[in-house]
């Protein structure tokens, strides 16, 4: 079963096409990163998946069901900045959120709220008014709200927003754990390093169109260049004359489609090797390659 499937998903506002025939496919258990430049249509797409915006054309299924109202009982989400009532506590905010949404059992509400606060690291501040929360704490509270009903699918917009490096790692580890327990993740983010560290599949929007969708491992292909670090750099340059594309002290970038053959050449010549590894395209390289001119800011 697919967690998210869209066919020809389109949203127009008058003559303006914001989302243009998007075919998303997010498998059950995926960690899917959703990327694109500012104004590419990502947020509008996410809002359509959650029933907050109605498509102009096309179809969509969430958790195998085209009836969103029923499917959304098993979906947790953060869209843009998490909303909250500042004058009441985080715990009270979660209670109000749970009471207003579908599928929340009043009998288990208190226990689920405590579990969600504990999970995101807010158990000790659950009674504090939200207006006293930092941006990172508000983000954690939004994630706690998304986890209240133990969702099968989490749709998150910038889950690392406002978090310090330690908090970012904690949330990443939390998401890894949720995914390992069976929760599918759909993460819209401009933090390419975080998507690269967390996600298994990636989709990129540009000007409303899905320009690439594939496994991250397939996108991050080898470039045909090899990083060589050697204390015998001068000798290596002489040996590999014409194949060195860059040098920084003892670090050389060498054109070499066959890493094993390069290693054999260096060892046979008696050169010492401290490091030797193939260069792989980064996610940033992939995204900038498939997005058009003027689309160099990711969001």
Question: What does the alpha-carbon distance between residue 90 and residue 67 come to, in Å, rounded to a whole number?
Answer: 31
Q: What is the bridge-based pairing of β-strands 184-188 and 153-157?
A: parallel
* Residue 293: per-residue pLDDT: 64
* Residue 213: per-residue pLDDT: 96
Say which DSSP state 243 is in: -
Identify the CA nearest to 240 among candidates 273, 206, 200, 202.
273
Q: Which helix (H) or strand (E) holds 95?
A: helix 90-100
* Residue 285: per-residue pLDDT: 86
- How do the pLDDT tens digits run along the chain, 299 residues long? 799 999 999 999 999 999 999 999 999 999 999 998 888 899 999 999 999 999 999 999 999 998 888 898 899 998 876 778 889 999 999 998 888 766 667 888 899 999 999 988 898 887 889 999 888 888 889 889 999 888 999 999 888 777 788 888 888 888 999 999 999 999 998 788 889 999 999 999 999 999 999 999 999 888 899 999 999 999 999 999 889 999 999 999 999 989 999 999 999 999 999 999 999 888 988 888 888 665 544 43
User: In the chain, what are the helix, strand and coil shares in percent, each to the nearest 5?
Assistant: 35, 30, 35
Question: What does the alpha-carbon distance between residue 192 and residue 168 come to, in Å, rounded to a whole number?
Answer: 13
268-293 b/e with 16+ CB inside 10 Å = b? eeebeeeebeeeeeebeebbeebbee
Question: What does the alpha-carbon distance between residue 255 and residue 93 come to, in Å, rounded to a whole number?
Answer: 57
Cβ atoms of 163 and 9 within 8 Å: the answer is: no
The angle at the Cα of 73, spanning 69 to 79, to the nearest 5 degrees, equals: 85
Cβ burial of 197 (10 Å; 0-12, 13-18, 19+) is middle
Domains of the chain: 2-219 (3.40.50.300), 222-280 (3.30.70.980)
* Residue 18: per-residue pLDDT: 96
Question: What does the alpha-carbon distance between residue 98 and residue 112 come to, in Å, rounded to a whole number?
Answer: 10
């Amino acid at each position: 079963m697919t967690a998210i499937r869209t066919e020809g998903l389109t949203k127009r506002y008058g003559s303006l096409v914001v989302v243009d025939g998007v075919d998303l496919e997010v498998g059950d258990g995926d960690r899917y990163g959703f990327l694109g430049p500012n104004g590419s249509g990502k947020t509008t797409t996410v809002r359509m998946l959650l029933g907050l915006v109605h498509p102009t054309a096309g179809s969509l299924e969430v958790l195998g069901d085209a009836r969103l109202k029923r499917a959304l009982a098993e979906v947790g989400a953060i869209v843009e900045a998490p909303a909250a009532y500042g004058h009441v506590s985080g715990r009270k905010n979660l209670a109000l959120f749970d009471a207003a949404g579908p599928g929340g059992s009043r009998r288990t509400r208190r226990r689920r709220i405590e579990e969600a606060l504990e999970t995101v690291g807010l158990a000790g501040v659950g009674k504090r008014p939200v207006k006293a929360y930092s941006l990172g704490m508000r983000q954690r509270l939004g994630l706690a709200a998304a986890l209240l009903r133990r969702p099968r699918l989490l749709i998150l917009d910038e889950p690392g927003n406002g978090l310090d490096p330690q908090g970012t790692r904690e949330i990443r580890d939390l998401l890894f754990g949720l995914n390992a327990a069976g929760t599918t993740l759909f993460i819209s983010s401009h933090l390419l390093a975080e998507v690269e560290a967390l996600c298994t599949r990636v989709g990129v929007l540009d000007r409303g169109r899905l320009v690439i969708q594939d496994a991250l491992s397939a996108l991050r292909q080898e470039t045909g260049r090899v990083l060589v670090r050697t204390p015998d750099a001068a000798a290596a340059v002489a040996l590999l004359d014409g194949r060195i594309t860059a040098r920084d002290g003892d670090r050389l970038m060498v054109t070499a489609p066959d890493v094993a053959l390069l290693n054999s050449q260096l060892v046979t010549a008696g050169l010492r090797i401290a490091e030797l590894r193939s260069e792989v395209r980064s996610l940033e390289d992939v995204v900038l390659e498939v997005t058009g001119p003027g689309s160099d800011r990711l969001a």
